[in-house]
């Protein structure tokens, strides 16, 4: 990847479409645009232009937008072609651009990576943009928007500045304690502020589990004996035929997953193979995968068509909801205990079951997106920073310069979150998740 090249790619959705947006960024973007569509339009103004090939033949009647550097998304000269969204039209324009020297098709995430390299955003904002593009629920959108807008970055940069100020005050006391304008024991006020900083950061980290549920969804695994109604439950919850339902035991051989949205949160439902002794190699592999899914579950729906529920095959400390199924076929006895009793045929009890699942979600009225780390990587970096600050606070037997070193490490850990320090090893991983054209 080199910033010398001018890159281009389709930046809108799949084809065919009403409009297809083709983006170009780099030092030759303005020259190439003039060559294919005539005079450049005024900056940031949609202008109608005809795009012609090198023989002067008309390719499309399009709209063109010109963004001169540095006032663009990437910080480079950028141009967008708003074309008619037919496959042949887009292919013709892409072929035309590829014929120019110094132009090449963009790699996945390369436009955003150039924006990062040119200081138009930091690493956390770039991750927020990726999350925004993949958001499927309202809460995911809100969390991603907060991250992409820079609110998290502003908070973390503020903490990093406090650490920098603390280190500067300590250095001043070490080097200039005999000067009149540097009062003695200035580090005492520093340690008080660092203690307050730890409290603020730990309060922020306390909400990391909630943001993980927002971003990754609540993992709900359906467990029970073969033919207990597991597949019917996942079909009824999602409102579609996700899993095959038959009277034959062992029909479900693999872990089948589907998404459900409740109160703006994603719930990842998994239907698992019934756990039993079997000589069937394929079914045995399905049971092994079911065990793995159960071990990672946030909630287990233990389903049974009788009053007896199958014991879990492993130690589990999470939320367990017992679901009595097929109540239209076998009525519930008064002595039975359960959390929800349902019939997927009549729909009885399904609202109660969804309400039980919703009660396990974070309180949407109290959750503030900017008050929680958006990604596990962020939480880990902030946790490392808190650890270093605590070491500095508790190391009263160390000299000031050694305690200051812990504060430097704390600032470095925060810098890794926003990309202010060396994070080159992370970039390939992060930007590989982007689509081409972004």
Residue 381: predicted pLDDT: 94
pLDDT of 372:
82
> What's the pLDDT tens digit per position in 45-102?
999 999 999 999 999 999 999 999 999 999 999 999 999 999 999 999 999 999 999 9
* pLDDT, tens only, 223-257: 888 888 888 888 888 887 765 555 545 455 567 88
Overall average pLDDT of the 403-424 stretch: 85
Residue pair 290/211 in contact by the 8 Å Cβ criterion: no
**pLDDT of 186 higher than 70:** no
CB 68 within 8 A of CB 43: yes
pLDDT at site 422: 57
Q: What are residue 108's DSSP bridge partners?
A: 436
Query: Which tokens is 229 given?
Result: 């109604």
Residue 249 lies in a domain: yes
Task: Please indicate, yes or no, whether residues 350 and 220 belong to a single structural domain of this protein.
Answer: yes
Specify if 325 maps to a domain: yes
Does one domain contain both 13 and 110?
A: yes
Q: Which of 252, 390, 225, 253 shows the shortest CA–CA distance to 311? A: 225
If asked whether residues 107 and 135 sit together in one domain, one would say no
- CATH number of the structural domain spanning residue 112: 3.30.1360.120
pLDDT of 160 reads: 92
Q: Please report which confidence band the pLDDT of residue 182 belongs to, taking 50, 70 and 90 as the band edges.
A: very low
Q: Do the beta carbons of residue 42 and residue 55 sit within 8 Å? A: no
At residue 365, the pLDDT reads 58
The whole-angstrom separation of Cα 415 and Cα 122 is: 10
Position 436 scores a pLDDT of 65
Last residue of a domain, one of 313, 332, 359: 359
pLDDT at residue 293 in the model = 83
Is 98 among the domain residues? yes
Number of domains in the chain: 3
What are 147-176's pLDDT values in tens digits?
999 999 999 999 999 998 888 888 777 765
Q: pTM here?
A: 0.76
Structure tokens at 227: 């033919």
pLDDT given for residue 295 in this prediction = 85
Same domain, 247 and 349: yes
Residue 222 and residue 295 in one domain: yes
3-state secondary structure 272-313: CCCCCCCCCHHHHHHHHHHHHHHHCCCEEEEEECCCCCCCCC
For residue 376, CA distances in Å to 139, 208, 233, 281 come to 17, 8, 31, 37
For residue 426, pLDDT beyond 60: no
Sequential DSSP letters for 9-68: EE-S-SSSEEEEEEEEESTTHHHHHHHHHSSPPPBT--EEEEEE-TT--EEEEEEEEEE-
Residue 437 domain-assigned (yes or no): no
- The DSSP output letter for 226 is T
Greater confidence (2 vs 45) lies with 45
User: What CA–CA distance (Å, rounded) separates 14 from 70?
Assistant: 29
Q: How far is CA 386 from CA 48, 203, 206, 370, 414, in A?
A: 55, 11, 12, 18, 10
Query: Of the candidates 359, 384, 411, which is a domain's last residue?
Result: 359
pLDDT > 50? residue 429: yes
d(CA 5, CA 106) in angstroms, rounded, equals: 10
| pLDDT tens digits, one per residue of 207-227 | 888 888 888 888 999 988 888
Half-sphere exposure of 431 (CA within 13 A, CB side): 25
For residues 299-311, give the mean pLDDT: 88
Q: Which of 319, 337, 359 is the last residue of a domain?
A: 359
* pLDDT reading at 401 higher than 80: yes
Higher model confidence: residue 113 or residue 3?
113
Percentage above 70 pLDDT, the chain: 87
Query: Does 135 fall in a domain?
Result: yes
Mean pLDDT, the chain, rounded, equals: 85
Range of the structural domain that residue 140 is part of: 125-207+370-431
Paired residues of 21 in beta bridges: 82
To the nearest whole percent, how much of the chain has pLDDT over 90? 48
For residues 408-426, average pLDDT: 80
| 325-363 pLDDT tens trace | 999 988 888 888 899 999 989 999 999 999 999 888 876
Q: What is the pLDDT of residue 248?
A: 47
């Amino acid at each position: 990847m080199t910033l010398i090249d001018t890159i281009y790619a389709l930046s809108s959705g799949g084809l065919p479409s009403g409009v297809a947006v083709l983006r170009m960024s780099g030092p030759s973007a303005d020259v190439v645009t003039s060559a294919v569509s005539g005079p450049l339009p005024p900056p940031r103004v949609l202008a109608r232009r005809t795009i012609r090939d090198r023989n002067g033949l008309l390719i499309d009647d399009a709209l063109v937008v010109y963004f001169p550097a540095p006032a663009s998304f990437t910080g480079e000269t950028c141009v967008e072609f708003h074309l008619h969204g037919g496959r042949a039209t887009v292919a013709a324009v892409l072929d035309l651009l590829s014929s120019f020297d110094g132009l090449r098709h963009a790699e996945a995430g390369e436009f955003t990576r150039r924006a990062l390299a040119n200081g138009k955003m930091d690493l956390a904002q770039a991750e927020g943009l990726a999350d925004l593009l993949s958001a499927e629920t309202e809460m995911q959108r809100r969390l991603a928007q907060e991250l992409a807008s820079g609110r998290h970055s502003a908070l973390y940069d503020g903490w990093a500045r406090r650490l920098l100020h603390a280190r500067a005050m300590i250095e001043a006391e070490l080097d200039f304690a005999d000067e009149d304008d540097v009062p003695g024991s200035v580090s005492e006020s520093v340690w008080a502020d660092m203690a307050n900083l730890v409290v603020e950061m730990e309060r922020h980290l306390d909400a990391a589990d909630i943001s993980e549920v927002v971003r990754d969804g609540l993992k709900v695994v359906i467990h029970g004996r073969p033919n207990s109604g597991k597949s019917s439950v996942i079909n009824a919850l999602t409102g579609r035929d996700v899993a095959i339902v038959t009277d034959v035991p062992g029909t479900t051989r693999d872990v089948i997953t589907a998404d459900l949205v409740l109160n703006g949160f994603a719930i990842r439902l998994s239907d698992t193979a019934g756990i039993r002794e079997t000589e069937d190699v394929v079914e045995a592999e399905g049971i092994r995968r079911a065990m793995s899914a159960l071990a990672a579950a946030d909630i287990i729906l233990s389903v049974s068509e009788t009053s007896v529920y199958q014991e879990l095959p492993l130690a589990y400390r999470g939320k367990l909801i017992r679901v009595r199924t097929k109540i239209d076929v076998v009525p519930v006895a008064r002595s039975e205990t359960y959390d929800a009793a349902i019939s997927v045929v009549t729909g009885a009890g399904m609202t109660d079951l969804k309400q039980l699942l919703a009660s396990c979600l974070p309180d949407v009225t109290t959750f503030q997106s900017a008050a929680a780390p958006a990604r596990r990587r962020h939480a880990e970096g902030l946790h490392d920073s808190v650890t270093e600050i605590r070491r500095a606070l508790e190391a009263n037997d160390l000299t000031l310069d050694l305690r200051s070193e812990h504060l430097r490490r704390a600032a470095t850990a925060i810098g890794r979150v926003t990309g202010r320090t060396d994070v080159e090893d992370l970039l390939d991983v992060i930007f590989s998740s982007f689509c081409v054209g972004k």
